[in-house]
Amino acid sequence: MELLVRQVRIADGKPPVDLAISKGRFVAVQPNLAADAPRVIDAQGRAAIPGLLEPHIHLEKALLEQRMPNQSGTLAEAIRITGQLKAQQVREDVLDRSRQVLDMAIRNGVVALRAQPDVDPIQGLIGVETGLALADEYRNALDLQIVAFPQEGILKAPGTLAMMEEALNMGASVVGGCPYNERTWEDTRSHIDECFKLAQKYDRPVDLHADFADDTSDRRFAAASYIAQKTIDTGYQGKVTLGHMTSLASLMPDQAQPVLELLQRADINIVTIPATDTYLGGRKDQANPRRGLTPVAALRKAGVNVTYASNNIRNAFTPFGKVDPLQIGNMLAHIAQLGSPDDQAYVLRMATTNAARAMGISDRYGIEVGKQADLVILDTPNVANALLDLPPRSWVIKKGRVVLETKHEEKISK
């Protein structure tokens, strides 16, 4: 036994337990464990949750906002600005900004991220190369999945498909896609088809930016049904994730229901991006501006796995952010009106067990005997307080190793 955590609360309404960790895994989870270890953490009744997850983030585009702000706050300007900036990417600068983001993540209890570096003729493979280097550099502190993400489209940007294949050969573990960023609906379908062909060839999961609009008047932004059917036809159920999915919220319930049912049948994971999508969405609405958010409640009711993520950190798409899933979860709970105790517990699951399912790591995730010892001990006595208090992360443990310890002291004078 290498680490023993005493008196930690992993479920409200039940006594605290002790967690014994050996070789990076939990070997005992029970009250009053008769054991010892070289290092013992006395949690003193603090709450603990599985390590937090970020299933959708852009490292190489982070922290660029001050270099060229998005004055209009629109998606179109964000794409234009980012295209200019990424043409000037320099390896050391990308590494420096990415490290700042990963350090933020560690401070906030994140133990795994799925990064979405652009792969296109503008930026080349610098995002993939630096991402893979950082995955190795940070391997003891967090897990980093790399997506081959064609932000500029595939048909619209000749040569991109070959670069995606090169990225997969380099070590990227997920096939990405951005089907709405093509010129026609026919090209959007071809984009999706090419992504699935590549995924099948390399036996990799699929993660697409999809349906990112305020409405479904343009079919390029209403591809969910096509993707879901493609998933079923190729036998890819459980291996496909869709990020954003905002235009689905513009449909009336009777229109949305068939799409929701198809997503559930296809076992597709949805990643809602509350910070980015509410910031960019509804910009043209003169009255009753739309929230620009995935219909989380409807997806949940339909039995679809839904998680959430930070997406962009301080750039043209999102000028805020610090890679804190609890902060984003608190925001989501407000915007999506998920305020009951049951809803709040669901939001916390979105950033933990739901995200693990979307990232394909459920088999080793969770505070259970035999699972990888990734957890966050929060400076609050109840698990339910995680979203309410946004508490300091007292200890962050990755593979049984303490990667962060926070000293928090406050004094109120009356």
**CATH homologous superfamily of 3-50+366-405:** Urease, subunit C, domain 1 (2.30.40.10)
Q: Do domains 3-50+366-405 and 52-359 have the same CATH topology?
A: no
Please write the tens of the pLDDT for every residue from 118-152. 999 999 999 999 999 999 999 999 999 999 999 99
Q: Is 286 exposed, middle or buried (0-12, 13-18, 19+ CB in 10 A)?
A: exposed
Regarding the domain delimited by 52-359, which CATH topology (the fold level of the hierarchy) does it fall under?
Answer: TIM Barrel (3.20.20)
The mean pLDDT values, 10 residues at a time, for the chain of 414 residues are 97 97 98 94 98 98 93 88 92 98 98 98 97 98 98 97 98 98 97 98 98 93 97 98 96 96 98 95 88 95 98 95 98 97 98 98 98 98 97 98 93 94
Which residues, other chains included, contact 339 with Cβ-Cβ below 8 Å and sequence gap of 6+?
333
Q: In this predicted structure, what is the pLDDT of residue 75?
A: 82
Q: In this predicted structure, what is the pLDDT of residue 253?
A: 93
Determine the Cα–Cα distance for residues 118 and 312; give it in Å rounded to an integer: 13
Would you list the DSSP string of 352-376? Answer: THHHHHHHT-GGG-SSSTTSB--EE
Whose structure tokens read 């000028």? 319
Whose structure tokens read 């570096």? 117
Q: In this predicted structure, what is the pLDDT of residue 285?
A: 87
Please write the tens of the pLDDT for every residue from 162-182. 999 999 999 999 999 999 999
Q: In this predicted structure, what is the pLDDT of residue 76?
A: 86
Share of the chain above pLDDT 90, in %: 93
Rounded to 5°, angle at Cα 365 from 50 and 328: 45
Determine the Cα–Cα distance for residues 180 and 303; give it in Å rounded to an integer: 25
Domain ranges of the chain: 3-50+366-405, 52-359
Determine the Cα–Cα distance for residues 208 and 368; give it in Å rounded to an integer: 31
Q: State the pTM of this model.
A: 0.96
Beta bridge partners of 209: 243
Please write the tens of the pLDDT for every residue from 5-14. 999 999 999 9
CB atoms near residue 186 (< 10 Å): 12
3-class DSSP assignment, residue 220: helix
